Chain A
Amino acid sequence: MAEGKLRNITYAQAIRTALREELKRDERVLLFGEDVGYYGGVYGATVGLQKEFGEDRVRDTPISEMAIAGVAVGAALAGYRPVAEIMYVDFLAHASDAIVNNAAKWRYMSGEQFRLPVVFRSPGGGGAGYAAQHSQSLEAWFAHIPGLKVAAPGLPRDARGLLKAAIRDDNPVVFLEHKAHYTFKGEVPVAEEVIPLGVAEVKRSGKDATVVSWSKTLTHALEAAETLAGEGIDVEVIDPRTLQPLDMATILASVGRTGRLIVAHEAVEFAGFGAEIVTQVVERGLDLLKRPPVRVAAPFVPIPYSEPMERFVIPQPTDIVAGVKRCLG
């Protein structure tokens, strides 16, 4: 694909670009959440949007996650395309009734009478010293719910393109951002780009091992791949970009080339999403594997506050390097 003009922007700016473009494109797109209006979001992802699109469409809400998510579901049922921001992934626990019980199921349990074009944006992840209640990675919770789609972009370009697709999708999408990643910069096309949900991308080609990773950990995986390249180990890095739908074909094809699978994510390893990927590879492509798969993920503890402990718990590039070497044997 011929690349048009690119610009180097942050992950937060990429999110903001997508929101702005979609607010402009479709009057039915609404944006609301805590501090998203006047303040522009606690991470600056909605700066200036209220000023540009007005208080009717870009609304500050009270601290009422149940209402924020529930209002979004109601407005979607009435034909709007709301984007609700839940300030921290951890607070999705409050909003989960509307997301899990209502948004995810209303279409199915009504015999397909309704469409639910709603996006729940929420930053997760640790690394910023916010401790146990503001640092979780909960993608597996939501990927486990039939009726939801789940996106977890790691690069600004994907954040922008996937968010646009999520807003245009007629199904509820849980759009997981990473709070320690909002200032991360990357190339994003100036021209409009919509990246379809459910299509993985090979972020780096390699022949020795396949590393599957998403969200901020993807950038750790790319860093680890560079380190390993210096040691003559050629790693392929795949970003599924969305966990539901999940593009297993791309992952299996890569494992077919490399024979080795490492899944790296920030969430707790036990019952984490890596288990799903490993299982599917084993079920559908055991003969492709030269070695047992390896997961690089957090131990079974809450995220601790103090920096040495937090860095120890959250997978770092060095942990992925070690994981790849473990897999290579």
Chain B
Amino acid sequence: MAVKDRERLLHFYEDMLRIRFFEEQVRDVLYPQRLFRGSSHLAIGQEAVAVGAVHALQAEDYVISTHRGHGHAIAKGLDLQRMFAEIMGRRTGYDRGKGGSMHLADASLNFIGENPVVGSNTPMAAGLALAAKLEGNGRVAAAFLGEGALNTGAFHEAANLAALWSLPVLFLCENNLYAISVPLDKSSALQDLERRAEAYGIPGRRVNGMRVMEVYDAVSSAAEATRERSFPSFLVFDTYRFEGHHTSDKQTYRTQEEALEEFRQRDPIHILEFEMIDDHTVPIPTTIEYRDRIRAEVDAAFEAALAEPWPAPEDALTGVYAEGGE
């Protein structure tokens, strides 16, 4: 393996661990200790999609995400401490404590934000892409969506318009098989999800979402095509969420055995580790070093965020409107 490829792979590995450990911290520490409100939608199992896809994009490219967006945010480079701070409602969080787990955003990194209204981010992605096209700045707009969002009108309106106006949008669909409790075969008339944008002239591609390099390669070529042709691409990544829909989900709609078996067979981090060890990219001790280091980084970010200040109650009253204009 070329040095460059090895470095890239290790970088992906690192970011996947970062997402996994961040989410585990939310699940194992924040949730039981009630350090956040509402619920949090964990991306454990979907790390390869977030990392492979976002790293195939340029820093200037827009990313607009979903309720299950911690992974996309981390891959786009958001700061773990400020993410934890936001999820724990602190003044120093990304949204000053006004957004929480479902509204993480970093304008400076072109992470436009999570949009937890399913499907609602896809027309926005088309708008971001329209701006990029008019500007001629070569950016693309990437919208993550779950397979559940393929059934929303918003997605179909956005897909048609993006194709009609020839907009540089990447529709990145994470098929984790469940829309909360409803399995794919009870939600989509067509099981060949990659064909669901065909009617708009957008060819789809199905990708193994558990293999980070396959995701990376697929998104790289789709992004290149979208950038060059200024035309949308549609990719469906087969993945799985090993956790519930959110932290309080009892998961009565599937068996523990199913989730465990999926985890044994398809955990994207195990898959990557085995591959790297098998082809001598890294020796086993190195993977352990990586795990320890990233775990410590996540712990430190959490501890630092825990010490951060709460907003004043009346901060709720500010920031509704922007001052001024043109």
Whether A111 and B161, one on each chain, are in contact in the complex, defined by CB atoms closer than 8 angstroms, is no
Whether B325 and A73, one on each chain, are in contact in the complex, defined by CB atoms closer than 8 angstroms, is no
Q: How distant is the Cα of A177 from the Cα of B158 in the complex, in angstroms?
A: 27
Q: How distant is the Cα of A188 from the Cα of B130 in the complex, in angstroms?
A: 34
Whether B120 and A98, one on each chain, are in contact in the complex, defined by CB atoms closer than 8 angstroms, is yes
Whether B124 and A70, one on each chain, are in contact in the complex, defined by CB atoms closer than 8 angstroms, is yes
The binding surface of chain A is classed by DSSP as mixed
Q: How distant is the Cα of A10 from the Cα of B323 in the complex, in angstroms?
A: 32
Whether A79 and B103, one on each chain, are in contact in the complex, defined by CB atoms closer than 8 angstroms, is no
Whether B130 and A75, one on each chain, are in contact in the complex, defined by CB atoms closer than 8 angstroms, is yes
Question: What string of 1s and 0s marks CB contacts (under 8 Å) between A139-183 and chain B?
Answer: 000000011010000000000000000011111000000000000
Q: How distant is the Cα of A56 from the Cα of B322 in the complex, in angstroms?
A: 28
Given A107-B322, A170-B324, A77:B160 Cβ within 8 A: no
Whether A67 and B322, one on each chain, are in contact in the complex, defined by CB atoms closer than 8 angstroms, is no
Whether B127 and A64, one on each chain, are in contact in the complex, defined by CB atoms closer than 8 angstroms, is no
Contact partner, B128, options A78, A81, A109, A171, Cβ 8 Å: A78
Q: How distant is the Cα of A73 from the Cα of B121 in the complex, in angstroms?
A: 10
A227 beta carbon closer than 8 Å to chain B: no
Contact partner, A110, options B99, B135, B165, Cβ 8 Å: B99
Whether A75 and B131, one on each chain, are in contact in the complex, defined by CB atoms closer than 8 angstroms, is yes
Which residues of A lie under 8 Å from residue B98 when comparing CB positions?
108-111
Which residues of B lie under 8 Å from residue A70 when comparing CB positions?
120, 122-124, 126-127, 154, 157-158
A101 beta carbon closer than 8 Å to chain B: yes
Q: How distant is the Cα of A170 from the Cα of B322 in the complex, in angstroms?
A: 6
Which residues of B lie under 8 Å from residue A169 when comparing CB positions?
325
Which residues of B lie under 8 Å from residue A114 when comparing CB positions?
105, 107, 112
Q: How distant is the Cα of A82 from the Cα of B123 in the complex, in angstroms?
A: 14
Which residues of A lie under 8 Å from residue B325 when comparing CB positions?
117, 168-171
Given A71-B130, A78-B132, A171-B321, A64:B160 Cβ within 8 A: yes
Closest B residue to A103 by CB, please name it.
B124
Task: With both chains docked as a complex, state the minimum distance between the C-beta of A4 and any C-beta of chain B, in angstroms.
Answer: 22
Which residues in window 65-116 of A have CB below 8 A to B?
A: 65-67, 69-82, 97-98, 101-102, 106-116
Which residues of A lie under 8 Å from residue B106 when comparing CB positions?
113
Given A70-B154, A170-B325, A110:B127 Cβ within 8 A: no
Q: How distant is the Cα of A74 from the Cα of B324 in the complex, in angstroms?
A: 20
Whether A64 and B320, one on each chain, are in contact in the complex, defined by CB atoms closer than 8 angstroms, is no
Given A111-B319, A116-B322, A71:B107 Cβ within 8 A: no
Whether A67 and B157, one on each chain, are in contact in the complex, defined by CB atoms closer than 8 angstroms, is yes
Task: With both chains docked as a complex, state the minimum distance between the C-beta of B326 and any C-beta of chain A, in angstroms.
Answer: 4
A250 beta carbon closer than 8 Å to chain B: no
Contact partner, B124, options A56, A74, A115, A168, Cβ 8 Å: A74
Closest A residue to B99 by CB, please name it.
A109
Q: How distant is the Cα of A30 from the Cα of B133 in the complex, in angstroms?
A: 13
Q: How distant is the Cα of A196 from the Cα of B291 in the complex, in angstroms?
A: 58
Whether B128 and A77, one on each chain, are in contact in the complex, defined by CB atoms closer than 8 angstroms, is yes
Contact partner, A76, options B127, B320, B324, Cβ 8 Å: B127
A26 beta carbon closer than 8 Å to chain B: yes
Whether B123 and A111, one on each chain, are in contact in the complex, defined by CB atoms closer than 8 angstroms, is no
Contact partner, A171, options B99, B130, B322, Cβ 8 Å: B322
Whether B320 and A111, one on each chain, are in contact in the complex, defined by CB atoms closer than 8 angstroms, is no
Question: What string of 1s and 0s marks CB contacts (under 8 Å) between A110-149 and chain B?
Answer: 1111111100000000000000000000000000001101
Contact partner, B127, options A62, A75, A108, Cβ 8 Å: A75
Which residues of B lie under 8 Å from residue A116 when comparing CB positions?
322
The binding surface of chain B is classed by DSSP as mixed
Q: How distant is the Cα of A55 from the Cα of B141 in the complex, in angstroms?
A: 22
Which residues of A lie under 8 Å from residue B161 when comparing CB positions?
61-62, 64, 67, 71
Given A147-B320, A147-B321, A74:B157 Cβ within 8 A: no
Contact partner, A67, options B113, B115, B160, B320, Cβ 8 Å: B160
Q: How distant is the Cα of A147 from the Cα of B106 in the complex, in angstroms?
A: 20
Please choose the segment from B2-10, B89-97, B282-290 that sits at the chain A interface, where 4 or more of its residues have CB less than 8 A away: B89-97
Whether A168 and B326, one on each chain, are in contact in the complex, defined by CB atoms closer than 8 angstroms, is yes
Question: What string of 1s and 0s marks CB contacts (under 8 Å) between B145-188 and chain A?
Answer: 00000000110011011001100000000000000000000000
Contact partner, B322, options A26, A59, A115, Cβ 8 Å: A115
Task: With both chains docked as a complex, state the minimum distance between the C-beta of A58 and any C-beta of chain B, in angstroms.
Answer: 12
Which residues in window 76-130 of B have CB below 8 A to A?
A: 93-99, 103, 105-107, 112-113, 115, 117, 120, 122-130
Task: With both chains docked as a complex, state the minimum distance between the C-beta of B38 and any C-beta of chain A, in angstroms.
Answer: 13
Given A62-B160, A107-B320, A113:B107 Cβ within 8 A: yes
Whether A26 and B326, one on each chain, are in contact in the complex, defined by CB atoms closer than 8 angstroms, is yes
Task: With both chains docked as a complex, state the minimum distance between the C-beta of B214 and any C-beta of chain A, in angstroms.
Answer: 29
Q: Which residues in A have some Cβ–Cβ distance to B below 8 Å? A: 26, 30, 56, 59, 61-62, 64-67, 69-82, 97-98, 101-102, 106-117, 146-147, 149, 167-171
- 15 cross-chain CB contacts under 8 A: A59-B165, A69-B123, A72-B127, A73-B124, A74-B129, A102-B117, A102-B120, A108-B98, A109-B95, A109-B99, A110-B113, A115-B322, A117-B326, A171-B321, A171-B322
Further contacts, 15 of them, CB under 8 A, given A67-B161, A78-B135, A169-B325: A62-B157, A64-B160, A70-B124, A70-B158, A73-B123, A74-B124, A74-B129, A78-B127, A102-B115, A107-B320, A111-B93, A111-B99, A113-B106, A117-B325, A168-B325
